[in-house]
Amino acid sequence: MKNLNRNLIISVLFVGATLAHADDKADAYKYGKEGIEAAKNKEWDKAIDLFQKAVKAQPKEANNYNNLGLAYKGAGKLDEAGKAFSGAIEAEPGNYSGYLNRGIVYTSQRQYPKAIEDLDRAVKLKSDSVPAHRFRAFAYLQNKDYAKAVEDYNVVLKEKDNDLEILDRRAFAFWNLKEYDKAIADFSKIIKDKPQDKEGYLDRSYVYELKKDYAKGIADCDKVLSLDPNNEDAKNRKVRLEYQQKNGNPTPTPTARPRRTLPPEPEATPKPKRPSGR
């Protein structure tokens, strides 16, 4: 009889624990669902509060931490976002999204070595991840590791062959590697897609100057001036190129023009993933 009572008590405790776990999961699902709606409306404080509740209800679910981190990121609270993504990794050491998201945060904070370390892990977990390769390439670019940046941008362009921002960044890497023909090819693709945008012509004219292809550089400057007659960069470069073409005596290497394409990657916040159901 005593053994029977003991078994009944154990059974009741086990059922009670199971029901409590089910209730916690149900609460996490509810908070997560409401948090996603708040995030869609960019009600970041509300989303943060709801995702914090989801984490508390289900602390071993990595997705809850990732959702919380994305909400913090949307609110511009990068330190808190990084901590939340670290929580996702602690909950699930092989969590691809945790490493990707934390790597993106490190990129935004200009902590490029840390970003590369996390994005390396993301790539190992998901080798075809376009975001991981894209952000890692940007971190390499900022670290002036241009060859590795090109490798990652090549992967991205296999999936998004007409991504003009990526073509521009890869061209920038190529010209720093003194692979001028490849840089020109990328800028030419950009110009073909955006023929009225002066920036592509200015960049390509700069590379033509480095390559000492003066006639083509002058032609690009002329195109810029047809679009923007008062463009000082184009006017100065044209004068310099015409002098070099006439005298066959290159002036010192031109100062690199400021790069408009090297701010941090776009800060668009991905929509948090839907929590796993009951």
* pLDDT tens digits for range 79-136: 999 999 999 999 999 999 999 999 999 999 999 999 999 999 999 999 999 999 999 9
Task: Name the CATH topology of 172-247.
Answer: 1.25.40
Average pLDDT for 141-146: 95
Please, are residues 71 and 49 in contact by the beta-carbon 8 Å criterion? no
- Mean per-residue pLDDT over the chain, rounded: 86
In whole angstroms, give the CA distance from residue 255 to residue 258.
9
Task: Give the right CATH number for 1-78 from 1.10.10.10, 3.50.50.60, 1.25.40.10, 3.40.50.150.
Answer: 1.25.40.10
- Collapsed DSSP state (helix, strand, coil) of residue 22: helix
Token digits of residue 179: 């692979």
Token digits of residue 229: 């007659």
Residue 29 has a CB neighbour count (10 Å cut-off) of 19
Give exposure, 213-245, as e/b (b: 16+ Cβ within 10 Å).
Answer: bbebbbbbbebbbeeeeebebbeebbebbeebe
Cα angle 19, 20, 26 (rounded to 5 degrees) comes to 90
Q: In the chain, what percentage of residues exceed pLDDT 90?
A: 75
Regarding predicted confidence, which is higher, 13 or 203? Answer: 203
In whole angstroms, give the CA distance from residue 31 to residue 57.
9
Domains 1-78 and 94-161 fall in the same CATH topology:
yes
pLDDT score recorded for residue 97? 95
Burial of 207 (0-12, 13-18, 19+ CB in 10 A): buried
pLDDT score recorded for residue 9? 38
In whole angstroms, give the CA distance from residue 187 to residue 30.
49
**pTM for this model (two decimals):** 0.83
CATH architecture of 94-161: Alpha Horseshoe (1.25)
* pLDDT tens digits for range 216-234: 999 999 999 999 999 999 9
In whole angstroms, give the CA distance from residue 117 to residue 11.
47
For residue 106, give Cα distances in angstroms to 42, 56, 66, 140: 22, 25, 15, 13
- What is the residue extent of each domain of the chain? 1-78, 94-161, 172-247
